[in-house]
Structure 1
Amino acid sequence: MNANGDIIVGLDIGTTKICAVVGEVSGKEIHIIGIGSHPSIGLRKGVVVNIESTVSSIRKAVEEAELMAGCEIRRVYAGIAGGHITGFNSHGIIAIKGPEVTEADVERVIEAARAVAIPTDREVIHVLPQEFIVDDHFGIQNPVGMAGVRLETKIHIVTGAVASAHNIVKCCNKAGLEVIDVVLEALASGEAVLSPEERELGTALIDFGGGTSDLAVFSGNNIRHTFILPLGGNNLTNDIAIGLRAPIADAERIKIQHGTCLSEGIHPEESIEVPGMAGRDPRKLPRQILGEIIEPRVEEIFTLLKREIYRAGMESRISSGIVLTGGGAMLHGVADLCESIFNLPTRVGRPMGVGGLKDVIQDPNYATAVGLVLYGAKQDENSQMKVREKGFFSAIIAKIKEWFKNAI
């Protein structure tokens, strides 16, 4: 435990890697003091398929972060993604009981908006207020204290498969960790890479991960739409492995070192060495072939995401453009290809708004984990609860024991 401030830990449980980031809250500032990363074994497209392998990967990433930060990690904010995640908008309306809106009225109207039928095999992960309406006044962020007779709200509800969410929590528990909250990874990434101006004016955030590509539309400082596409960097790797007849591990290395989304810009004489399979001799192939494999797949992913934005009627809400993050955002030429497909300004989003080891985390790979720390700090500030204060749970247990003793 670090004595200087409160410790918040973000755990990004991804398809290709598991990343733990330790942040120390000091006043209004957050300093990153520890980072741990380990290849993810046991997940497919964001869903746990092997609990023991996932637990082992979590332990190794957390141990590395503990060594760097010099503290013991017991509680984390865990990220969740996967094709099972769905988001939809809802609307609620109530009559204001008193002369002005109270906190109780806000809670009642949110409960009215979330009173929708959800299948028994799904659970609510987030209820995100978008705006409040008092009588005919729209776009209100906090209606408490305002006079009126009718209060309405628009919210975004994110749901996920019960089994998938519980498996993530179970893996963390088996690794000796308590999960404070399960957070949608696209929401967390937005905390880390978007500027206040982008969140206000309207931006489409694309978290280009290994197993999935997560879309989140932000506008008016709130999230307006979420969508998970079960295609990502691993699909590129598989395409390369099949197209070049190379082992998966070598296909991943070739993608990182030589991959590009702009096949037209490759010089005809450029070549790459492809290791042979099962002891066969390595081969030299034109790099042009690699570009012709990667470009169509990335174009397909962005086209499907663009189609989803138009299907949801969100095209008018992304005035400031596209922000790409996640491991896939490191691919050469990906921002240029995205810009040409969406016809909107595009940039690669890197974590910002933190101190400490900020030079180390200036990588889209760390966007979700850093975002989880920022999300946790915001929740901590709102609830006035110390995320991992020394002796916090011991004090609660002592109070419960005392209460029972007095009751008996």
Structure 2
Amino acid sequence: MGEKVFAPWTDPNETPLIQFKNVTKRFGEFTAIDNQTFDIYEREFFALLGPSGCGKTTMMRMLAGFEAPSEGTILLGGQDIAPIPPNKRAVNMMFQSYALFPHLSIWENIAFGLKRDGLPKEQIAARVEEMLKLTRLEKFARRKPHQCSGGQRQRVALARSLAKAPKLLLLDEPLGALDAKLRQDTQFELMDIQEKTGTTFVIVTHDQEEAMTVASRVAVMDHGKIIQADTPARIYEMPGSVYVADFIGDVNIIEGRATPAGDGYDIAFAEGEPALHAKSDKKLQAGSTAYLAIRPEKVRISTERPDDLPNVVRGKILDIAYLGNLSTYHVRLPNGQIIKSQTANTRRLSNRPFTWEDEVWLGWTDTAAVLLEG
């Protein structure tokens, strides 16, 4: 027997920790959140992902209690949180700026909320030690924030946010201030800490890679609405719309006219080009506009025409991006469309068979492309 997969959202008997019910938030004439209903479960690492101004921060501020919904209700553990002031909620928020007290030591920073709650001294000391250990900061307890690196300050803010054992921790762009290498390390640290504490984390980010790395589910937002909330794998492999496909990772989008054929549809996309075929159980009107979303790593590039692939197009290499372990070829088709193909460079010195201006064949299987409606 394998390990039980964590997927409470698939179990109808699970009660969500957080329930948004028809929540709308307006600022004057502007609708920031547009009639949203969704659930977040206990122990989830839930990411709100989207471009600036899509409503993700407003969503988080309503959970924290800094904003109240204009319409609808938000339940936490089955209780309407609207009447509960921010400091009385079992919710804590970690800000992008970390907002540490510069004059207090790391130990005092972590103890601050516990002292304010009037807990007994021994209990505070035990909890602070526990938090220092969890965030690997034992050696830095006596330092002041300015004597710590960015990554350490980030962990202090996390330790302070978790000290009061909130049911829910909100993280607003928590890794925004860190450099790329540190961000990556910290992502795994965050996941580890979330797992150990069992606290529900909701993270706001515009960094798709971050969301896809840390989250159990990602909610992709646009104009105040969640367009799709799903596991990172499903969002990547089975996007529900062109917006989601385009927002996550690199993708080729081919627009064409759909005609039902066999186990899916033929897509006519350019004069003089053969139709492309995609397996799909979607119901589309014959002749309607449809889109094929194909990830570059699923497009095979070759100098000879491949006989074993149902979808084959010919083009000329316009550009090559060499990323060490990967090469991405930008190939222009006769109709001017650019298709990207990505190959792994497995050999140390890849004797690249392709170069600029080469005529090449691109091919993919009939399940490689996701068929999306116009």
What TM-score range do you get, normalising by the shorter chain? Answer: under 0.3
- Higher helix content, 1 or 2: 1
Q: Which has the larger radius of gyration?
A: 2
TM-score between both structures, scaled by the size of structure 1:
0.24
TM-score between both structures, scaled by the size of structure 2:
0.25
